[in-house]
Amino acid sequence: MQEKLKILFIGDIVGRPGREVVKKFLTDNVQQKYDYVIANVENASHGFGLTKKNHDELLSYGVNIMTSGNHIWDKREIFNYISESEVLIRPYNYNPEVLGVGYRVFDDRIVVINLLGRTFMVPVDCPFVSLEKIINELKDKGIFDNKIIFVDFHAEATAEKQCFARFATELGVSCVIGTHTHVQTADECIIDEQCAYLSDAGFCGSKKGVIGMEYSASLKKLKLSINERFDVETLNPYVLNACEVEFFKNRATSINRISFEYYKQEEKESEN
């Protein structure tokens, strides 16, 4: 069994600029020996949801595993293919009747779990109780021991994320990476010499926008308190936020943040 393993986790991909900077980064770093490339894709199609076309596009760039969040349902076609995808994971703590799966086992080596937080978020089942349920299921199936347990915790509040990560460590989880805020935090650490943690991986998209969306629309909504249509910002530069996590057996040994910038030749595009 392979004892050392290296994972690249890519923060929330926002629209075409996010997809393009992911392609550029993975192309420029093809020599890097990542065992798995995981990406949060809930905003990858025009900033809201994920189309089948963009799902396949990201696979072609080298993304192996896709996590998501509350926006994964924003493109209606997701209901036509989410149960067919072998790499896409939706948050586990939705109602069990919801299509898709909340965790997957890959190569009998790594378990990737997706959970939603509840503070300032949509009503869902408790992520703490849900994680306990998943761990018990894995143990009952005999697929917990010596596995890397990797969690994308899609949540708003830092306190909830920190508390969840410590709780997850006590259950034997190997890594908890936060997503959703689109702002990369600087609190990476290894909890109890076991679990890698980062409150938020950040995002991939235009650095000139507001969490990837156009500044003008964001300003209008926040200043006037009225609903406004959001479009993906396409101005240079594009940024990729991610982190690299290394493991020995089922314990994290290092975690490092990545912030990669890319300038496109064309300044503006009509399609996002």
CATH number at residue 152: 3.60.21.10
Answer yes or no: is 272 within a domain.
no
Q: Give the single-character DSSP code of 237.
A: P
CA 161 to chain centre: 14
The pLDDT value recorded for residue 56 is 98
Contact 180, 220 (CB under 8 A): no
Q: Give the single-character DSSP code of 88.
A: B
Answer yes or no: is 151 within a domain.
yes
Q: pTM value?
A: 0.95
- Position 272 confidence tier, pLDDT thresholds 50, 70, 90: low
Closest C-alpha among 235, 238, 231, 232 to residue 268: 235
Answer yes or no: is 222 within a domain.
no
Provide the sign of the torsion angle of the four alpha carbons 99, 62, 40, 178, taken in this order.
positive
Answer yes or no: is 145 within a domain.
yes
Using CA atoms, how far apart are residues 272 and 235, in angstroms rounded to an integer?
A: 11
The pLDDT value recorded for residue 266 is 67
Does position 2 have pLDDT exceeding 80, yes or no? no
As for how many domains the chain has, the answer is: 1
- Position 265 confidence tier, pLDDT thresholds 50, 70, 90: confident
- Position 229 confidence tier, pLDDT thresholds 50, 70, 90: confident
- CA dihedral 89→252→138→135, nearest 10 degrees, is -90
Mean pLDDT over the full length of the chain: 95
Answer yes or no: is 271 within a domain.
no
The pLDDT value recorded for residue 31 is 78
The mean pLDDT value for 236-264 works out to: 97
Number of Cα atoms under 13 Å in the Cβ half of residue 250: 17
Catalytic center residues: 71
User: Can you give the residue range of the structural domain that contains 102?
Assistant: 4-209+235-262
- Residues 6+ away with beta carbon under 8 Å from 262: 20, 21, 24, 25, 237, 238, 239, 240
Answer yes or no: is 221 within a domain.
no
Q: Give the single-character DSSP code of 192.
A: T
197 burial via Cβ count (<10 Å: 0-12, 13-18, 19+): buried
pLDDT digits (tens, 9 = 90+) for 145-186: 999 999 999 999 999 999 999 999 999 999 999 999 999 999
pLDDT digits (tens, 9 = 90+) for 22-58: 999 999 988 788 999 999 999 999 999 999 999 999 9
Answer yes or no: is 220 within a domain.
no
Does position 140 have pLDDT exceeding 90, yes or no? yes
Does position 72 have pLDDT exceeding 50, yes or no? yes
Using CA atoms, how far apart are residues 119 and 249, in angstroms rounded to an integer?
A: 33
The pLDDT value recorded for residue 270 is 47
Using CA atoms, how far apart are residues 64 and 176, in angstroms rounded to an integer?
A: 18
The pLDDT value recorded for residue 65 is 98
Q: How many helices (H) and strands (E) does the chain have?
A: 6, 13
Contact 52, 84 (CB under 8 A): no
Answer yes or no: is 229 within a domain.
no
Does position 62 have pLDDT exceeding 80, yes or no? yes
- Position 1 confidence tier, pLDDT thresholds 50, 70, 90: low
CA distances from 41 to 31, 159, 203 (A): 24, 24, 10
